[in-house]
A = this chain, B = another copy of it.
């Protein structure tokens, strides 16, 4: 091949690549109607749908056989119900006629449009059936000609009122720009040249928009993103085929390529073989390569049992679309574009009085922090804050029936606003199901020692609310599990696919001694980079009422006095009521154990214990980054595992309202610096769950679910254990099951 031909091809590619790629992608990976999972609300894509260049996922699938859920006629029925389709449209109209934006409504970009929840007192006072809904208001985060606005929108009287805008940072990216930014580099000749030098066909290039954190003044005053790319040739699992070292700095507003960094010379793109994870594809390969069908490993024969409801039916009630009632619990459940899933007004029935008792006013994942542990050029900035940067709920895809949730699960849709302000539906975003996992809620057998013939056992039955956010490669499985004894388990499962790094190495024996690879060689030319995950939950506890106190029950060794006992030591518990925020900051220590209670100091049990709930950590991890490291300053809400703050409506997002490119000036850590009083107040408990992840070959080419959890557990909240009256399961309680027809 002579140079002129090369040059011609290069020019052709450089100029035409974006178009070619868009076309190819449309044909290959974005065919019409491919998105079975999301639907617009309207039949006519041209009139009123959000099926636009910006929002292809808003398009109704043409050949869809089942009718998608229509939320067009939804009306709010509870003060905390999310904005409906109609309300989003109304808010959009109001914003479009608002003076600054009215001049050019099409220039208005909606980054967030959600319910502005009424004051707590208003919600608590509201009685279903008796009271009208409190005035419905929305809060909008928009950008207009480069400027960000936060606005309160009164849906009744039409007033649009500006609210304060954070000093640093930018709003959560819209889904539209996340999608379109992937294509921004393709118009840049230098980018195309780089790809060409790597020997990758442009049609195989898949790119991801990577938030770049904040690393100094050079990155300020413009919205920036770093785009990195992969080869999707021969596999859907392009994540395993990084075009290593290539980082394209893009201006998010102009789509302009500012800088291309290529530090990946000599690093091949890992092979596609054995990376595709799609079952259908896999089976085809097996058919081609395996002559002895059925001779595969034993686990292939395993078929999951089914979780079948008792003949009396599943005990879950879903009332008015968002109120969940089950097993003495009642709570409001909704999808949220940023938090993913929000549990509100969780109340549990007192087994003695039958009355509902307040536990949690509002609980949700507030922010995530995912720092990768490689300081090199193409990796140092990867310190994701998935909720505030990408939108944890925006990334939640429709759940896969029978596999993501059991057969008899109920599903709840999300209704969000696209960048143009139009509503769209995220179908089957949350599932709710009654769970029996073969576990035992309580049991006791008397042994021959006492000679009593007692064999009592109660199966553990729980209710799970689940949402899964797929933030590019990672899938976060978020579970809230409610038990009949009042315990709530909040569980985070990490699944999906690793973010890997290309390397020239194909075997460990090529690695220099003491060389820091920042990870594990997972396969030829693939390094799994060490990283952490932190999920910080905001838990607005209202234990039997809004005003609570935080009590640390320290357990410490107590030495006995001379002659006091044959024992030299024992474990003594000491209660400490936290007065202020700093007094309530906790770093867990195995050898300095404690319990962490949120109590209602004005409510006592019959024998005088303050009623409470405790947060019970399980396995977790703590960030070891330097507190002054820029990402750790932004993620400073992970500096402690537990924080307690006084309730403040504006303090919902642990990393700040505008997290994108924020400097860490407006985080939970800065709020708590004020050291406000927290005793006997309406308080908010923050808990951070963490994971260290050193990848291993079992994380290639897919990453099996790893999960961790923490509990909110009643502590002297009930006079005795509620499951005392639970009935054991009898054979008559169970369904009769048979095989399906072949």
A56 close to B451 (CB less than 8 A)? yes
Q: Which residues of chain B are near A475, meaning CB under 8 Å?
A: 443-445
Interface residue A251 (Cβ < 8 Å from any Cβ of B): no
Interface residue from B295, B296, B716 paired with A520 (Cβ < 8 Å): B716
Q: How far is the CB of A243 from chain B (nearest CB, A)?
A: 15
Q: Who on chain B is nearest to A399 by CB?
A: B457
Most-contacted residue by chain B among A301, A303, A307 (CB, 10 A): A303
On whether A495 and B440 interact (CB within 8 A), knowing A567-B629, A718-B698, the answer reads yes
Render A318-338 as a binary contact track against B, CB cut-off 8 A, 1 for contact: 000000011111000000000
Whether, in the assembled complex, A436 has its beta carbon less than 8 Å from a beta carbon of chain B, the answer is yes
Q: Are A326's CB and B297's CB within 8 A?
A: no
Pair A692/B555 contact, Cβ less than 8 Å? yes
Is A521 on the interface with B (CB-CB < 8 A)? Answer: yes
Which of B209, B308, B724 meets A701, CB within 8 Å? Answer: B724
**Is B730 a contact partner of A179 (Cβ separation < 8 A)?**
no
Determine chain A's interface SS by DSSP, over half rule: loop
Name the residue on B nearest A431 (C-beta). Answer: B438
Residues of B close to A400: CB separation below 8 A: 443, 445, 455-457, 728
C-beta contact mask, A643-683 vs B, less than 8 Å → 1, else 0?
A: 00000000000000000000000000000000000000000
Q: Which of A378-416 contact B (CB under 8 A)?
A: 380-381, 395, 397-400, 402-409
Q: Once bound together, how far apart are the Cα atoms of A646 and B555, in whole Å?
A: 35
Tell me which residues across on chain B come within 8 A of A471, comparing CB atoms.
Answer: 447
Does the CB pair B530–A571 fall under 8 Å?
yes
Q: In the complex, are the beta carbons of B450 and A569 less than 8 A apart?
A: no
B308 touches A557 (CB 8 A): no
Nearest-CB residue, chain B, relative to A301: B315
Interface residues of A in 259-277 (CB under 8 A from B): 274, 277
Q: How far is the CB of A454 from chain B (nearest CB, A)?
A: 6
Interface flag for A48 (CB, 8 Å): no
Quick one: given A297-B350, A438-B405, are A279 and B728 in contact (CB under 8 Å)? yes
Whether A440 contacts B705 by the Cβ 8 Å rule is: yes
Stretch at the interface among A137-145, A146-154, A362-370, A601-609: A601-609
Q: Are B299 and A726 in contact (CB under 8 A)?
A: yes
For chain A, residues 337 to 358, give those with C-beta under 8 angstroms from any C-beta of chain B: 349-351, 354
Note all chain B residues with C-beta closer than 8 A to A507.
606-608
Q: Which of B328, B553, B606, B713 contacts A298 (CB 8 A)?
A: B328
Q: Which residues of B contact A46 (CB under 8 A)?
A: none
Cβ–Cβ contact B565 & A593, under 8 A: no
Determine the residue in chain B with the shortest Cβ distance to A487.
B704
Partner of A380 from B277, B495, B555, B565 at Cβ < 8 Å: B565
Q: Is A437 close to B, CB under 8 A?
A: yes
Closest chain-B Cβ to A490's Cβ sits at a distance in Å of 14
* Interchain CB contact under 8 A, B740 and A737: no
Q: Is A578 an interface residue (CB 8 A)?
A: no
Determine if A2 is an interface residue (Cβ-Cβ < 8 Å).
no
In the bound complex, CA of A587 to CA of B589 (Å): 11
- What's the minimum C-beta distance from A439 to chain B, rounded to whole angstroms? 7
Binds B, one of A105-113, A160-168, A541-549, A615-623: A615-623
CA distance A505 to B608 in the complex (A): 11
When distances are taken between beta carbons in the complex, the residues of chain B under 8 Å from A567 are 215, 375, 380, 629-631
Question: Is B472 a contact of A445 with CB atoms below 8 Å?
Answer: no
User: Interface stretch among A7-15, A30-38, A84-92?
Assistant: A30-38
- A298 cross-chain contacts in B, Cβ below 8 A: 325-329, 349
Residue contact B452 to A729, C-beta cutoff 8 Å = no
Which positions 557-594 of chain A face chain B at CB distance < 8 Å? Answer: 557-560, 564-573, 587-591, 593
Which residues of B sit under 8 angstroms from A67, Cβ to Cβ? Answer: none
Q: How many angstroms between the C-alpha atoms of A464 and B723 in the bound complex?
A: 24
Q: Which residues on B sit within 8 Å (CB–CB) of A442?
A: 495, 702-705
> CB-CB < 8 A to A530: which residues of B?
555, 570-573
Query: A694 contacts B553, CB within 8 Å?
Result: yes
Q: How far is the CB of A71 from chain B (nearest CB, A)?
A: 19
A522 at the interface (CB under 8 A from B): yes
Interface residues of A in 471-491 (CB under 8 A from B): 471-473, 475, 477, 484-487
> Is the beta-carbon distance between B566 and A381 smaller than 8 angstroms?
yes
A303 in contact with B454 (CB, 8 Å): no
Q: Which residue on B lies nearest to A437, using beta carbons?
A: B437
Would you call A94 an interface residue if the criterion is a C-beta within 8 Å of the partner chain's C-beta atoms?
Answer: no
> In the docked arrangement, what's the CA distance between A724 and B299, Å?
11
- For residue A715, CB closer than 8 A to chain B, the reply is yes
Quick check: A402 and B589 within 8 Å, CB to CB? no
A282-307 CB mask vs B (1 if < 8 Å, else 0) is: 10001000000001111111111111
Cβ-defined contact, B236 with A452, below 8 A: yes
Taking a contact as CB atoms under 8 Å apart, the answer to whether A735 and B698 are in contact is no
Q: Is A80 an interface residue when CB atoms closer than 8 A count as contact?
A: no
- Given the complex, which residues of B lie within 8 Å of A697, measured CB to CB? 605, 607, 609, 716-720
Given known A302-B326, A349-B297, A571-B530, contact A438–B433 (CB-CB < 8 A): yes
Cα(A617)–Cα(B29), bound, Å: 42
Instruction: Check if A468 is an interface residue, CB within 8 A of chain B.
Output: yes
- B-side contacts of A381, CB under 8 Å: 566
Contacts of A328 in B (CB 8 A): 297-299
How many whole Å from A303's CB to the nearest CB in chain B? Answer: 4
The smallest C-beta distance from A725 to any residue of chain B, in angstroms, reads 6
A194, CB-defined interface residue at 8 Å: no
A607 touches B729 (CB 8 A): no
Contact of A593 among B215, B457, B621, B729 (CB under 8 A): B621
Q: Give min CB distance, A94 to chain B, whole Å.
A: 27
Please give the distance in Å from A512's CB to the nearest CB on chain B.
Answer: 14
CA distance A282 to B631 in the complex (A): 57
Q: Which listed residue, B297, B406, B443, B477, touches A496 by the CB 8 Å rule?
A: B443
Q: Are A25 and B451 in contact (CB under 8 A)?
A: yes
Residues of B near A733 (CB, < 8 A) are 303-304
Tell me which residues across on chain B come within 8 A of A595, comparing CB atoms. 694
Contact A618 B618 (CB under 8 A): yes
The 6 A-B residue pairs with the shortest CB-CB distance, nearest first, are: A311-B739, A508-B608, A437-B437, A375-B565, A303-B310, A403-B457
Sample (23) of A-B pairs whose CB atoms are under 8 Å apart: A236-B452, A278-B456, A303-B312, A304-B310, A307-B437, A373-B572, A376-B565, A402-B459, A404-B457, A440-B495, A445-B475, A505-B607, A522-B607, A523-B720, A557-B624, A567-B629, A570-B625, A587-B591, A697-B716, A698-B715, A704-B721, A732-B740, A735-B739
> A278-B456, A505-B607, A520-B609 provided; 15 other pairs, C-beta below 8 A?
A35-B453, A299-B723, A304-B729, A305-B408, A380-B567, A402-B731, A403-B457, A445-B468, A507-B608, A516-B572, A530-B571, A587-B591, A590-B590, A616-B619, A736-B738
